[in-house]
Amino acid sequence: MKSLNFFIALLSLLSLATITKSQDPSYLYHSCSNDTTYTRNSTFQTNLILLLFSLLSDAPRNNLNGFYNSSIGLDPDDVYGMFLCRGDVDKNTCQICVALAAKEAIQRCPVQKVVVLWYDLCLLRYSNRAFFATMDQDPGVFMFKSDQNIADEPERFNRLVATTMNYTVTQATIATSGGKKFAVGEYFTKSPNLYSLAQCTPDLSSSDCNRCLRIAISILPSCCSQRPGVSILYPSCNVRYETFKFYNITTVAAKPPPPPPSPLTRPKGKGHVSIIVIVAIVISIAVSMVLFCMGFSFLRRRARKNRVSLPEKDDGDEISTVESLQFDLSSIEAATNNFSPDNKLGEGGFGEVYKAWKQWTNGTALELMDASLGDSYSRNEITRCLHIALLCVQEDPKNRPKLTTIVLMLNSFSVTPPLPRKPAYCVKSRTGSKPLSVNDMSITELYPR
């Protein structure tokens, strides 16, 4: 018992000595399982104290990604533990948060063997069973301020949350094995702005991380619709969004720069695809999608004008001229791989709409890549190239990056591209009927949005 009191006192001194120099961590929630407990002054308690000391003392040297795990003892008194600090905090703040969490865990769960405790800046977990590299969503909790709600355009806000969280989750899961699986996102609108965060423990595989985060954001519509700020906490992952910036983006570690481009000529044997080839493929997909939609729309309008001449409606959202949208059938067939059904998303007023945008919003952009390329490309580079390509085909020219910016984004990961919006001409159409026929036959006109 004396050793436990000494340990708690030491933790208090460690946290108080440096807490004024760092961001103050805030306690969120804890879970103690009463299914398994230990007796005071037992071998398990001794091992637990040694484990917590190990996490604290080894953390500054070994937590390259704000994460560290360890185990001590032999069955049945073995104990496994880990901590995960938020991806934007420095090592000193991380150590302070872990010390506070260890102290809080001992006091709130004095005899429980299975404990999970969350602060806003870190997570501490220990158990009498091995859980490393295993996705766990039990226990789980969601948190929000119950007295607040988004009153203006709630449906638009919910769509904004879904789009931003999908993007952030995708970015968090593309980290390499063992790397920091952490990402933040920012979406600026007239009101309100949205800031998002997604993180997994680095010992998870990319597929387990993606599954954990997708499950977390899937409950947002049912638990937290129209809430201006929400946190969903699991032992293996967590997500959060707010209408204010709650993270320090300047301390988020920059992604490593991409490797130099490989020669255009493919080497013999098993090699890697050139970055130039990858960029060409991704941009071609996005440009082909826009060219087809524009060309097909023009062909339909010209065919309709050959049948009947009707006065044009003055609509500020409609296309006022079509002289620059002339494409022959061979160009359209080439752009769509001869109208391949593999690329078809559905039917709309512009004809067959192709799928690059939906793959991006669903977080499955890598499915656009040719399966024959295998693993000869970087997931990170492909996602970034498609991101840039979608920015290049934005409907408003002001939202398209300049050529110098594109070159900079392709050659450096220090620049974070803004979130793309839905590209031009890839939306459904509306139809309207006008009673202008002399023989009671209806004529339907298509108006692009």
Alpha-carbon dihedral sign for residues 398, 403, 408, 409 = positive
pLDDT per residue, tens digit, the chain (449 aa), is 445 554 554 555 454 444 444 468 999 999 998 999 999 999 999 999 999 999 988 666 666 688 999 999 999 999 999 999 999 998 889 989 999 999 999 999 999 999 999 999 999 999 999 999 999 999 999 999 877 788 778 888 999 999 999 999 999 998 766 688 999 999 887 778 999 999 999 999 999 999 999 999 999 999 999 899 999 999 999 999 999 999 987 545 434 333 433 433 334 444 444 455 455 565 666 666 666 667 666 666 665 555 444 344 444 443 333 333 445 556 556 666 666 666 555 444 443 445 677 777 777 777 777 766 666 667 777 777 888 888 888 888 878 888 877 877 777 665 677 888 777 655 444 444 444 444 444 333 333 44
State the DSSP code for 442.
Answer: -
Determine the pLDDT at residue 281.
61
Determine the pLDDT at residue 13.
44
Please tell me the pTM assigned to this model: 0.56
The verdict on 220 and 334 lying in the same domain is no
Residue finishing a domain among 64, 97, 132: 132
Determine the pLDDT at residue 267.
40
CATH of the domain at 174: 3.30.430.20
155 in a structural domain: yes
- Contact between 201 and 137 (Cβ < 8 Å): no
The verdict on 128 and 163 lying in the same domain is no
244 in a structural domain: yes
3-state secondary structure at position 244: coil
263 in a structural domain: no
Determine the pLDDT at residue 405.
78
264 in a structural domain: no
282 in a structural domain: yes
The verdict on 119 and 153 lying in the same domain is no
Secondary-structure breakdown of the chain: helix, strand, coil percentages, each rounded to the nearest 5: 40, 20, 40
Q: What is the largest CA-CA distance in the chain?
A: 100
- Contact between 380 and 390 (Cβ < 8 Å): no
State the DSSP code for 423.
Answer: P
Distance CA 42, CA 39 (A): 6
- Contact between 108 and 101 (Cβ < 8 Å): no
The verdict on 168 and 188 lying in the same domain is yes
Closest CA to 225 of 293, 158, 132, 172: 158
198 in a structural domain: yes
Alpha-carbon dihedral sign for residues 286, 289, 290, 295 = positive
The verdict on 151 and 244 lying in the same domain is yes
The verdict on 283 and 405 lying in the same domain is yes
Distance CA 264, CA 262 (A): 6
The verdict on 127 and 152 lying in the same domain is no
| Total of domains in the chain | 3
Strand segments (E) across 73-204: 79-85, 112-119, 122-127, 141-144, 182-187, 194-200
269 in a structural domain: no
By residue range, what is the domain housing residue 227?
143-251
Ramachandran area for residue 153 (φ above 0: left; ψ -120 to 50: alpha; else beta): left
The verdict on 17 and 121 lying in the same domain is yes
Determine the pLDDT at residue 17.
44
Structure tokens at 410: 């392709």
The verdict on 99 and 125 lying in the same domain is yes
- Contact between 379 and 205 (Cβ < 8 Å): no
The verdict on 121 and 160 lying in the same domain is no
The verdict on 80 and 162 lying in the same domain is no
The verdict on 128 and 147 lying in the same domain is no
266 in a structural domain: no
